[in-house]
Homo-oligomer: A and B are copies of this chain.
Amino acid sequence: MSVVSLLAELADVGASRAGGYDRLAWTRADSKCREWFVAQSESRGLDVEVDRNGNLWAWLNPSLPGSALVVGSHLDSVPRGGAFDGPLGIASAFAALDLLADFAPTRPIAIVAFADEEGARFGVACAGSRLLTGALAADTFRSLTDADGVTTAEAMSNAGQSPDHVGADLERVARIGEFIELHVEQGHLRTSAGVDGLTPDAPLGLATEIWPHGRWRVDLIGQQNHAGTTRLADRVDPMLDLARVILEVRNAAEASGILATVGRVRVSPGAVNAIPGSASAWIDARGSDEDRVVSVMGDIGRGAVLESWTPTTPFDSAFVADVGKAIGGDLPLLPSGAGHDAGVLALAGIPTAMILVRNPSGISHAPEEFAEDGDCERGVVALAAAMRSRTA
């Protein structure tokens, strides 16, 4: 089955009236995507299982000797996200397996759908893969809540997934010999003049590393009061501090040559006629250099709380080179500013590679995220070639 047809089956799942997709982890839309994964796996005679952290696995020949070649990505999205970030990797894995129908691998192959990759609901990205490798402690995960106060355990339970045994699963990690994640590109391949030395017309690329990435939260406390009766001089208005933090983050990012973003804020109580009592800003900072990423928060101060930190994650260069050789051609190599489950597995010592599919708009985490049908098919052919090469 073609990757385009496979993706078309998800076209209506979680479609937002405002455009894009709302498939946040453990919501009804996410569950529908997971049901689709199970149906696709079963129609191909794969053995499906759900691990203790909610990750879905579909095994081909699990009884063969040796560790498995695992391919896959995730199904969840950010709010109003695109159609490709995540699902393209899963659909391409099924389509690649179909291309290999007449091929007899000598090692097990598994397709994985990692749970809760985006972190858009509970604030911690790659929760499923991090729990698996032990990079995220079960207690920390259980303490997370969404914007409505729903805990991760409640969300999983509501989706029919027991949260009782989340946590490191090193026996399962040991079965993963190598991991390849195919993913829509999210910016670097896009300009006609090329960026970072890439050729402008490359439909596919390989990732060399994932940039270091920190998330911080700044909590600003004021004095809630009446907007119509409190003199300006008497106010302690955290909204003003929030505005200053937003601009300081941008200025510090420009000065340091990194990326830093305030994408989420919370203002309480959020009434038009009340000076807020408190305000919070979440800061996302990334760049090619760890020291410069950290230095931005040094400039901001204000008691920022580190919510997550991922160091520079290089992919195994020998493994990436082997995957590139199997695919053939001269694929551009580029760093990823976005985090991925592939990075989590690489940090756990698993040889890992990422195949990136061109995104002409350069836009991601948004409805405009896009990949041409032809480029998606090229990605499948490349993934199939890599899978054949690694399991022959």
Q: If A224-B365, A228-B284, A254-B232 touch, does A272 touch B188 (CB 8 Å cutoff)?
A: no
In the complex, the answer to whether B79 meets A269 with C-beta atoms within 8 Å is yes
Q: How far is B188's CA from A389's CA once the two chains are assembled, in angstroms?
A: 79
Interface size on A, residues (CB 8 A): 69
A362 pairs with B276, CB closer than 8 A: no
| A364 nearest in chain B by CB position | B226
Is residue A153 contacting chain B, with contact meaning CB distance below 8 A? no
Contact B239 A262 (CB under 8 A): yes
Q: Across the interface, which residues of B come within 8 angstroms of A188, CB to CB? A: 229
Specify which chain B residues have a CB less than 8 angstroms from the CB of A239 in the assembled complex: 246, 261-263, 265
Alpha-carbon separation in the docked complex, A121 to B250 (Å) = 33
CB within 8 A of A228: which of B123, B213, B282?
B213
Query: Does A314 lie at the interface of the complex (its beta carbon under 8 Å from any beta carbon of B)?
Result: no
The 0/1 profile, CB within 8 Å of B marked 1, for residues 281-299 of chain A is 0101010000000000000
- Residues 165-199 (chain A) with a chain B CB within 8 angstroms: 186-188
Is A315 interfacial (CB-CB < 8 Å)? Answer: no
- Residues of chain B within 8 A of A186, CB atoms compared: 226, 228-229
With A263-B271, A267-B264, A273-B118 given, is the CB distance from A339 to B228 under 8 Å?
Answer: yes
Contact with B along A251-266 (1 / 0, CB 8 A): 0011000010111110
**Contacts known (A78-B269, A365-B274, A366-B223); A338 close to B246, Cβ less than 8 A:** no
Asked if B262 contacts A125 (CB within 8 A), the reply is: no
- Does A119 sit within 8 A of B, measured CB to CB? yes
- Let me know if B277 and A120 touch, CB within 8 A: no
Q: Are A364 and B265 in contact (CB under 8 A)?
A: no
Whether B231 pairs with A259 at a CB distance below 8 angstroms is: yes
> CB distance B274 to A78 under 8 Å?
yes
Q: Is A211 an interface residue (CB 8 A)?
A: yes
Residues of B within 8 A of A244 (CB): 243, 247
Verify B227–A365 contact, CB threshold 8 A: yes
Q: What 1/0 mask marks residues of chain A from 218 to 241 whose CB sits below 8 Å from any chain B CB? A: 000001111111111010010110
| A105 at the B interface (CB under 8 A) | no
Instruction: Name the distance in Å between A148's Cβ and chain B's nearest Cβ.
Output: 10
Q: How many angstroms between the C-alpha atoms of A337 and B232 in the bound complex?
A: 13
- Residues on B with beta carbons closer than 8 Å to the beta carbon of A272: 119-120, 123, 215, 263-264, 282, 284
Q: A186-B229, A229-B188 are in contact. Are A80 and B224 (CB under 8 A)?
A: yes
Q: Is A226's CB under 8 angstroms from B269's CB?
A: no
Q: Indicate if A363 sits at the interface (CB-CB under 8 A).
A: yes
* Docked-complex contact B230 and A273, CB < 8 angstroms: no
Give 18 CB contacts A-B under 8 Å: A118-B271, A119-B273, A120-B273, A224-B365, A227-B261, A227-B284, A227-B365, A228-B284, A242-B243, A243-B244, A247-B247, A263-B267, A263-B272, A264-B271, A265-B265, A272-B284, A273-B338, A274-B366
Known: A226-B363, A228-B284, A239-B262. 7 other contacts (CB 8 A): A79-B268, A187-B229, A225-B364, A225-B366, A230-B362, A237-B261, A275-B365
The 6 nearest A-B residue pairs measured at CB: A187-B229, A79-B269, A224-B366, A228-B337, A243-B246, A227-B261
